[in-house]
Chain A
């Protein structure tokens, strides 16, 4: 029986997400998670790893990341340097091959969870360069003339902020999950995990304000979960009375990071 993911104590997942995670694990396909910033995309991988009791490897993608970085890196410069200054055994090529996140997961004795975080940050072609590696979980190292084949197919979780369109061929191989923004009910449970025991009146007032802000038309950057948690922490520490939250909107800079948004909210009052 395959291990099944059912959420963890720290991570509140809805039923749809659980179903999609389990489908991805069972079918051995990468899970592509999309959603607004602050909906817990990155945390999902940690939660899955914890629940399935597998080690987690994180590959944070940047604009300069190349597909081969996740597989291995042949440290030519080091070898050149060693050859020049006569350090170590330069004939042993293996010493200069460093495996990337996928390489490590493929070579591991145990099944891993691999998080490819913010895949859309990289070049438009980046996902296409990983197609075979993710499909067959195999890659070739020409320098050693060796093929690295995954002994245990890792559970691959990929997150995207929709900054760039992902190529069709890549999408076709993924299980797709879109994290919708949590509603009040679920948000309450999420907040409760991070800040247990906040007074109900404070939460109610803050939520009303928060969801009101999210409905404002023309907002440049809508406040998200992480900002709400920060805001609630400050409100609770400062001991702001609930009625003031609605009327005075204290510490608004925590929720609204853009000057234009603050102005917009001010002008509407």
Chain B
């Protein structure tokens, strides 16, 4: 009965491990889930480890349990709830019904229908957001089924997909970027001189208890990062997104060196500090200063007319935009291209060409994380 849930979760890309699954079953054995609501809660608490996966959990849960038949004793309980609820309402008739009798008739009719229709999952009493019978509280009047208010039916809650906004593969903010970029740190002992306590103790002990101080340099970040950003034209719609990446990167003062260069469509003869005041440097000069230690992060949609990529730009002789990109990628093997367009638009000649020169990732938190793994030289990263 529960196994389909496991497969639905894995289909959603949630890697549920044996350990959590066993804990979940143990929770069931301990009686922590007595109905669909508590099953939803328990499963989410044990199997899901981030609010960013809640939406995927909702989808998996709803796919598993939508249309599950109500056990017979639950129907009897529903009838009992109706009686209690009507007593509690004190005879007040909900909006849309003539009388208590009509309300009761309708309730029983739906109960009967449910018994007859085995697929009647979306018609449940107790889960429907707009049904007068249930506990999600959307309807102006009606009968609340179940004990306390507050929680809607699990499937109804799952169907609402209220956690959609938390998905990291769709949305991202400065903070998310920062968390992802922080993984780029690479510490080494080159910083200011600090007192080394264990060393001091070691040397003091060797010195027969006469205090002997020992010092060593503090840890600093050795990572050198260069950000190359396509600006203007087709990138305008992504301006807000890219600026978020910028503020995240700028606030992280932990890199040893951090440079930002701009280009339009592809790098030609010059790279720009800023377009507004025409502050530019020959691309070759920037290139010469790079070492294989530098990490290159390109940001751009990589989508342009093929001649724009494979020409030197504005009648210049010299390397084409694609030549420059390939040269940069060869000099700095730890390069990644972040594309603000979703991968479904990547089937384009220039996108494919650039994607062949270096791994390309979507400009989302997940994409950035994979890019950072690649930049760290992690083998786990795979191009999208």
The interface residues of chain B lying within 8 Å CB-to-CB of A32 are: 49
Asked if B20 is an interface residue, CB under 8 A from chain A, the answer is yes
Q: Is the beta-carbon distance between A165 and B41 smaller than 8 angstroms?
A: no
Chain A, interface size category, equals 20 to 34
The interface residues of chain A lying within 8 Å CB-to-CB of B120 are: none
Q: Which of the 9-residue segments B26-34, B287-295, B296-304, B347-355 touches chain A?
A: B26-34
Q: Is the beta-carbon distance between B51 and A178 smaller than 8 angstroms?
A: yes
Contact for A22 among B32, B48, B150, B175, CB less than 8 A: B32
Asked if A96 is an interface residue, CB under 8 A from chain B, the answer is no
Q: Is the beta-carbon distance between A80 and B45 smaller than 8 angstroms?
A: no
Whole-angstrom CA separation of A27 from B26 in the bound complex:
8
Contact for A20 among B26, B41, B209, CB less than 8 A: B41
Query: Among residues 63 to 78 in chain A, which have CB atoms less than 8 Å away from a CB atom of chain B?
Result: 76-77
Q: Is the beta-carbon distance between A162 and B179 smaller than 8 angstroms?
A: yes
Q: Is the beta-carbon distance between B42 and A19 smaller than 8 angstroms?
A: yes
Whole-angstrom CA separation of A32 from B179 in the bound complex:
19
Whole-angstrom CA separation of A168 from B41 in the bound complex:
21
Asked if A163 is an interface residue, CB under 8 A from chain B, the answer is yes
- Which of B32, B41, B49, B211 has the most chain A CB atoms inside 10 A of its CB? B49
The interface residues of chain A lying within 8 Å CB-to-CB of B42 are: 19, 23
Asked if B5 is an interface residue, CB under 8 A from chain A, the answer is no
Q: How close is B203's CB to chain A, nearest CB, in angstroms? A: 11
Given A14-B150, A171-B50, A175-B46, does the pair A84, B209 have CB atoms closer than 8 Å?
Answer: yes
Q: How close is A18's CB to chain B, nearest CB, in angstroms? A: 10
Q: Is the beta-carbon distance between B32 and A172 smaller than 8 angstroms?
A: no
Asked if A108 is an interface residue, CB under 8 A from chain B, the answer is no
Q: Is the beta-carbon distance between A20 and B179 smaller than 8 angstroms?
A: no
0/1 interface trace, chain B 157-173, chain A, CB 8 Å (1 if under): 00000000000000000
Asked if A234 is an interface residue, CB under 8 A from chain B, the answer is no
Q: Is the beta-carbon distance between B46 and A164 smaller than 8 angstroms?
A: no
The interface residues of chain A lying within 8 Å CB-to-CB of B211 are: 84
Q: Is the beta-carbon distance between B151 and A16 smaller than 8 angstroms?
A: yes
Asked if B78 is an interface residue, CB under 8 A from chain A, the answer is no
Chain A residue nearest to B30 (CB atoms) is A26
Q: Is the beta-carbon distance between A173 and B38 smaller than 8 angstroms?
A: no
Q: How close is B271's CB to chain A, nearest CB, in angstroms? A: 29
Whole-angstrom CA separation of A172 from B46 in the bound complex:
8
The interface residues of chain A lying within 8 Å CB-to-CB of B90 are: none
Asked if B19 is an interface residue, CB under 8 A from chain A, the answer is yes
Q: Is the beta-carbon distance between B179 and A164 smaller than 8 angstroms?
A: yes
Whole-angstrom CA separation of A84 from B201 in the bound complex:
12
Chain B residue nearest to A171 (CB atoms) is B49
The interface residues of chain A lying within 8 Å CB-to-CB of B23 are: 27, 29
The interface residues of chain B lying within 8 Å CB-to-CB of A109 are: none
0/1 interface trace, chain A 166-183, chain B, CB 8 Å (1 if under): 101001111111100000
The interface residues of chain B lying within 8 Å CB-to-CB of A19 are: 32, 38, 41-42, 45
The interface residues of chain B lying within 8 Å CB-to-CB of A166 are: 49
Given A27-B27, A34-B51, A84-B209, does the pair A16, B19 have CB atoms closer than 8 Å?
Answer: no
Query: Which applies to chain B's interface (DSSP): helix, strand, loop or mixed?
Result: helix
Q: How close is A132's CB to chain B, nearest CB, in angstroms? A: 14
Whole-angstrom CA separation of A171 from B45 in the bound complex:
11
Contact for A23 among B20, B32, B150, CB less than 8 A: B32
Q: Is the beta-carbon distance between A23 and B27 smaller than 8 angstroms?
A: yes
Asked if B253 is an interface residue, CB under 8 A from chain A, the answer is no
Whole-angstrom CA separation of A84 from B204 in the bound complex:
10
The interface residues of chain B lying within 8 Å CB-to-CB of A246 are: none
The interface residues of chain B lying within 8 Å CB-to-CB of A26 are: 27, 30, 32
Query: Among residues 31 to 52 in chain A, which have CB atoms less than 8 Å away from a CB atom of chain B?
Result: 32, 34
Chain A residue nearest to B32 (CB atoms) is A23
Asked if A15 is an interface residue, CB under 8 A from chain B, the answer is yes
Q: How close is A34's CB to chain B, nearest CB, in angstroms? A: 7
Whole-angstrom CA separation of A27 from B19 in the bound complex:
13
Asked if A141 is an interface residue, CB under 8 A from chain B, the answer is no
Q: Is the beta-carbon distance between B209 and A16 smaller than 8 angstroms?
A: no
Given A19-B38, A172-B17, does the pair A164, B54 have CB atoms closer than 8 Å?
Answer: no
Q: How close is A44's CB to chain B, nearest CB, in angstroms? A: 14
Asked if B331 is an interface residue, CB under 8 A from chain A, the answer is no
Contact for B204 among A80, A124, A168, A178, CB less than 8 A: A80
Asked if A83 is an interface residue, CB under 8 A from chain B, the answer is yes
- Which of B23, B201, B209 has the most chain A CB atoms inside 10 A of its CB? B23
Chain B residue nearest to A163 (CB atoms) is B179
Q: How close is A184's CB to chain B, nearest CB, in angstroms? A: 14
Query: Among residues 150 to 203 in chain A, which have CB atoms less than 8 Å away from a CB atom of chain B?
Result: 162-166, 168, 171-178
Q: Is the beta-carbon distance between A172 and B201 smaller than 8 angstroms?
A: no
The interface residues of chain B lying within 8 Å CB-to-CB of A83 are: 209
Chain A residue nearest to B204 (CB atoms) is A80
0/1 interface trace, chain B 74-101, chain A, CB 8 Å (1 if under): 0000000000000000000000000000
Q: Is the beta-carbon distance between A77 and B41 smaller than 8 angstroms?
A: no
Q: How close is B165's CB to chain A, nearest CB, in angstroms? A: 11
0/1 interface trace, chain A 70-103, chain B, CB 8 Å (1 if under): 0000001100100110000000000000000000
The interface residues of chain A lying within 8 Å CB-to-CB of B175 are: 162
Asked if B182 is an interface residue, CB under 8 A from chain A, the answer is yes
Chain B residue nearest to A161 (CB atoms) is B175
The interface residues of chain B lying within 8 Å CB-to-CB of A124 are: 183
Q: Is the beta-carbon distance between A16 and B41 smaller than 8 angstroms?
A: yes
A-B contact list, 28 entries, CB within 8 Å:
A14-B150, A15-B150, A19-B32, A19-B38, A19-B41, A19-B45, A20-B41, A20-B45, A22-B32, A23-B27, A23-B32, A24-B45, A27-B23, A27-B32, A77-B197, A83-B209, A162-B179, A164-B179, A165-B183, A166-B49, A168-B49, A171-B50, A172-B17, A172-B19, A175-B45, A176-B46, A177-B45, A178-B51
Residues of A within 8 A of B (CB): 14-16, 19-20, 22-24, 26-27, 29, 32, 34, 76-77, 80, 83-84, 124, 162-166, 168, 171-178
